[in-house]
Chain A
Amino acid sequence: MDALTAALKVAASGLGAQSERLRVVSENLANAQSTGNTPGADPYRRKTITFQSELDRTSGGSLVEVSSIARDPSDFPIEFQPGNEAADEKGYVKMPNVNALVEMADMSEANRSYEANLQVIKQARDLISMTIDLMRNQQ
């Protein structure tokens, strides 16, 4: 596989990885207020995503893939909400350990990386096109 096609493959793997990342971010944001159902139950635990690089035999490029989607082990913050069905006997509810600001920052980073990978795909495709164009338009 020539280098330009390899670049396309690598950038495509980048798109896939960043899409996964965005999916995890959107899950976290959507469940930022999801408490448990029974008194004292645990709420939604934030998900984290980790990437790893993998050297592709055929193309020679370093593809990126999702190595794991794990749970954030940090403690749940506690709020005082006596009316909530998950409130313990003192009226405290464990809230998900999702910080909306952190998730938004992660989302904009994921967007930036996604755009960069997209640019690589466009450029690699254009370079291939330019090479083929050498043969065209000859009288």
Chain B
Amino acid sequence: MQPVNLFDLATRQSQWLAVRQSAIASNIANANTPGYTANDVEPFEKVLDRTAVTLAATQAGHLGAEKSNAGFNVKPKEATGSIMPSKNTVVLEDELMKAGEVRRSFELNTAIVKAFHSMMTMVVKS
């Protein structure tokens, strides 16, 4: 179900960004590991489209890895371009670019939360 509340949406997006950051970290750390396939989270729009029921089911289940992934699906992405003989599909530049996007989105996210929070306290204070 779509979160209509601004702060809820911001929290959800920051969780998604954190999971994406850890997927990027795993990819970069394993850039030279033979047979390793690069992972990425499902897009944020897909997350929003899912119903609340499905989300609850995913979270109620597993422990460990799934718990830190906050219910987001982290899947290996298909290899595009050339396949290395070591079957490693990590492209370092792509991972660094994704990391830059994560950073920008995260900064926007915290800035929006800060601004609206200050507006709300402004109204109450007098």
The A/B interface has a contact count, at CB < 8 Å, of: 127
Interface of A is mostly: helix
The residue of chain A having its C-beta at the shortest distance from the C-beta of B103 within the complex is A123
Instruction: Flag whether A53 is at the interface (Cβ < 8 A).
Output: yes
Question: Is B24 touching A134 in the complex (CB atoms < 8 A)?
Answer: no
- Contact partner, B26, options A10, A51, A113, A131, Cβ 8 Å: A10
CA distance A52 to B92 in the complex (A): 17
- Contact partner, B36, options A3, A53, A117, Cβ 8 Å: A53
- CB proximity of B89 to chain A, nearest CB, Å: 12
Question: Is B68 touching A50 in the complex (CB atoms < 8 A)?
Answer: no
- Contact partner, A50, options B34, B70, B95, Cβ 8 Å: B34
- Contact partner, A10, options B22, B64, B110, Cβ 8 Å: B22
Q: Which of chain B's residues have a CB closer than 8 A to the CB of A52?
A: 33-34
Instruction: Flag whether A31 is at the interface (Cβ < 8 A).
Output: no
Instruction: Flag whether A71 is at the interface (Cβ < 8 A).
Output: no
- CB proximity of A94 to chain B, nearest CB, Å: 29
Q: Which residues of B67-113 are within 8 A (CB) of A?
A: 67-70, 92, 95-96, 99, 102-103, 106-107, 110, 113
Question: What range describes how many residues of B lie at the interface?
Answer: 35 or more
CA distance A130 to B21 in the complex (A): 14
Question: Is A64 touching B33 in the complex (CB atoms < 8 A)?
Answer: yes
CA distance A18 to B36 in the complex (A): 16
Sample (11) of A-B pairs whose CB atoms are under 8 Å apart: A3-B69, A17-B32, A60-B67, A61-B22, A62-B29, A116-B96, A117-B29, A120-B29, A123-B103, A126-B103, A127-B103
Which 3 residue pairs across A and B have the least CB separation, nearest first? A14-B29, A60-B65, A3-B18
